[in-house]
Amino acid sequence: MPSRDVIPPAQRGCVLDPLGLTSEQAVEAAHALGMPRANALEAYKALLREGKTPPEVFAFTPPEVVRTLREESPEGEVIKFLVRVKGRDPSKGHESLAGKPLETESVLIPMVGSVRGLTYTLCVSSQVGCAMGCGFCETAQMGLIRSLTAAEIVGQWYAATHVVGVRPKNIVFMGMGEPMDNYEQVMQAVAVLKDHNGASVPISHVTISTVGRIDGLRRMREQIKQPTWHRLNLALSLNAPNDEVRDVLMPVNRRWKMEELQQELIDWPRFGGNKLCIEYVLIPGVNDSREHAAQVANFVRPLKSLVREGASGDEAADTRERAVVNVIPYNPRRSSPWPAPTEEQVNAFIGWLIEERVFVKRRRTKGRQMMGACGQLGNEQIRGRRLVDLTVSPSKVTND
């Protein structure tokens, strides 16, 4: 589990926001303030499971949903909701959260399965804005405003479950922000979400999506070797067939090239047959040619035959397909220089990947009208900030 140091200093030794704490951490913190452990545990369970307000020893403020947008899709209603969070005030220090309030954006995406019928996947934000500057992404236009705390990330699950009234089956970190740029808080949020005394989301239903920050991937690789963390899923936002295209689309690639990224995925521990998701936003005229499909296949091919972590003999020689390429038709952001691909273009690209023997799925676009589709999250009112030069320092924000 991530260290307790992730508890913000301001919260240590006084009242604590239970949404940012595992049950063990919350019980210990409340006990230190004089509450019997058994009572603290009951209060924690009742809050996370039933949405019941806990006693005052916990500094709980219900997440405030300021806006909800709904749009029909063939599989059900897509629900985008915005939760108010504190703003950053640079004049009071880098960590100060006394500025103008901000909003996180989250999307509930309906999925119809043959066994469980209609379920929802919750796409959460890990930051307000993002520093990664991906050329196809609406959020990138905002720059990074600030990273969210674990409590604010879990607050999005709480809002979906107890305010909007939809308990999601899966959680994907694919909303605003790069999770590896806020690693400690994201992993603390996952620890809270998977806690059996609280939200109880199976860890195999949680996916962390990254642009490929190798430093973060190395930390996550160690984390998933820990007991109870093995099944945490990883998705890589690849979006390009080669370094030339990726350097332009995704500035992070100027720092960590595709070959290094590929090696990291080849070395990725394999537990329980979890698939690696390779996300590929298909942009006409940019990354959708026959040759590009062959290059994507070359990137993915070495990922499938690898040694299973901690196994030997036949098990170690497991060569099952382990990477799935998710083709996502581009959702044009505001003022986009590129259009959405046509059905023919999407089908052609998928066909080429299949010819190359790549395991491929197509992501259906949902929520496009309300800017809730993939790569479209971003609050227009707080845009216009400068981006960070990733080639120098990917985690430092110099713009205020």
Report angle CA 123, 377, 193 to the nearest 5 degrees: 25
Candidate ranges 27-35, 133-141, 310-318, 339-347; the one touching ligand SF4 (CB under 6 A): 133-141
Examine residue 249 and tell whether it contacts ligand SF4 (CB under 6 A): no
- Choose the stretch contacting ligand SF4; rule: CB under 6 A; options: 32-40, 131-139, 159-167, 300-308: 131-139
Please pick, from the candidates 27, 43, 79, 134, the single residue that binds ligand SF4 as defined by CB under 6 A: 134
Using CB under 6 A as the binding rule, whether residue 394 contacts ligand SF4 is answered as no
Instruction: Burial-class residue 92 by CB neighbours within 10 Å (0-12, 13-18, 19+).
Output: exposed
Q: Which two tokens stand for residue 24?
A: 């063990």
Minimum CB distance to ligand SF4, residue 342 (Å): 23
Give the integer Cα–Cα distance in Å for 394 and 215: 10
374 included as an active-site residue: yes
Among 375, 376, 390, 397, binds ligand SF4 (CB under 6 A): 375
Phi and psi of 66, rounded to 5°?
A: -95, -20
Number of residues binding to ligand SF4, judged by CB under 6 A: 13
Contact yes or no for 282/275 (Cβ under 8 A)? no
Quickly count: other Cβ atoms within 10 Å of residue 357's Cβ.
12
- 361: closest CA among 329, 400, 393? 329
Check binding of 206 to ligand SF4 (CB under 6 A).
no
Q: Which stretch binds ligand SF4 (CB under 6 A): 76-84, 137-145, 214-222, 306-314?
A: 137-145
Structure tokens at 274: 């979890």
- The least distance separating ligand SF4 from the CB of residue 326, rounded to whole angstroms, comes to 14
Residue placing its CB nearer to ligand SF4 in the complex, 152 or 178: 178
Note whether 171 binds ligand SF4 by CB under 6 A. Answer: no
For the chain, the first-to-last Cα distance in angstroms comes to 33
Q: CA 273, CA 69: separation in Å to the nearest integer?
A: 36
Does 379 sit near ligand SF4 (CB under 6 A)? no
Name 147's bridge partners: 127
The footprint of ligand SF4 (CB under 6 A) covers 130, 132-134, 137, 139-140, 176-178, 211, 237, 375
Active site residues: 374
